[in-house]
Amino acid sequence: MLALDSRFPTWLLRPYLDLADSNGGPLHAQNLEECWRSFVEPANPTFVPQRALSPGFRIQLAREAGPAYALTDPRQLPENLRSERWRRLCAALDEWTSLREDGKCRLASLLHSMCLYQLLLDLIPYDNFGADRAAPDAVRLAFWRASAHYIQHLPERTSNYPGADISVFEDIALNAPTIVPECFNATAKVFVHKAKNRCEAADLAGWGDRLERALVRTIADADEFTSGLFTSRFYRGLGFLPQLTGDRREVARVMDLAESHARNIKPVTPAQHLLYRENLHAVMESRTKEALWLGDKNEALSRSLKVIEVDPCDSKAWAELGEIHYLREEWKQASEAYSMAAMLGPPASAIGRYMAGLCFRKLGQDMLSAFFLKDTLECDPLGISPRHRINELPKAAALDALKHWNNRP
Rounded distance between C-alpha atoms, residue 222 and residue 46, angstroms: 14
Q: Which residues contact 7 (CB under 8 A, 6 or more apart)?
A: 64, 65
- Helix (H) or strand (E) holding 301, with range, is helix 297-310
Each residue's pLDDT tens digit, 198-242:
899 999 999 999 999 999 999 999 999 999 999 999 999 999 999
Q: Using the 3D structure, point to which of 64, 80, 115 is the last residue of a domain.
A: 115
Domain for residue 188, yes or no?
no
Rounded distance between C-alpha atoms, residue 143 and residue 140, angstroms: 5
Domain for residue 298, yes or no?
no
Backbone angles phi, psi at 155, to 5 degrees: -80, 175
pLDDT confidence of residue 233:
98
pTM beyond 0.85: yes
Torsion of CA 166, 169, 173, 174, to 10 degrees: 60
Domain for residue 224, yes or no?
no
How many helices and strands, by DSSP H and E, does the chain display?
Answer: 23, 0
Q: How confident is the model at residue 127 (pLDDT cuts 50, 70, 90)?
A: confident
Q: Which of 147-156, 157-166, 369-378 has the highest mean pLDDT?
A: 369-378
Domain for residue 95, yes or no?
yes
* Contact (Cβ atoms closer than 8 angstroms) between residue 259 and residue 287: yes
pLDDT confidence of residue 169:
97
pLDDT confidence of residue 249:
97
Rounded distance between C-alpha atoms, residue 104 and residue 110, angstroms: 10
Q: At what angle do helices 270-293 and 297-310 cross, to 10 degrees?
A: 170
Segment 168-177 mean pLDDT: 97
Structural domains of the chain, count: 2
Domain with 339 in it: what CATH number? 1.25.40
* Contact (Cβ atoms closer than 8 angstroms) between residue 338 and residue 356: yes
Domain for residue 65, yes or no?
yes
Mean pLDDT of the chain: 94
Identify the domain containing residue 50 by its residue range.
1-115
pLDDT confidence of residue 163:
67
Each residue's pLDDT tens digit, 84-124:
999 999 999 999 999 999 999 999 999 999 999 999 999 99
Q: Using the 3D structure, point to which of 97, 115, 133 is the last residue of a domain.
A: 115
Each residue's pLDDT tens digit, 231-257:
999 999 999 999 999 999 999 999 999
Q: Using the 3D structure, point to which of 87, 115, 143 is the last residue of a domain.
A: 115
Domain for residue 12, yes or no?
yes
**130 or 162: whose pLDDT is higher?**
130
Segment 274-302 mean pLDDT: 98
Phi and psi based region of residue 24 (left: phi greater than 0; alpha: psi -120 to 50; beta: remaining): left
Rounded distance between C-alpha atoms, residue 204 and residue 2, angstroms: 52
Find out whether the peptide bond into 162 is cis, omega within 30 degrees of 0: no
Domain for residue 365, yes or no?
yes
Q: Does the pLDDT at position 80 exceed 80?
A: yes
Domain for residue 122, yes or no?
no
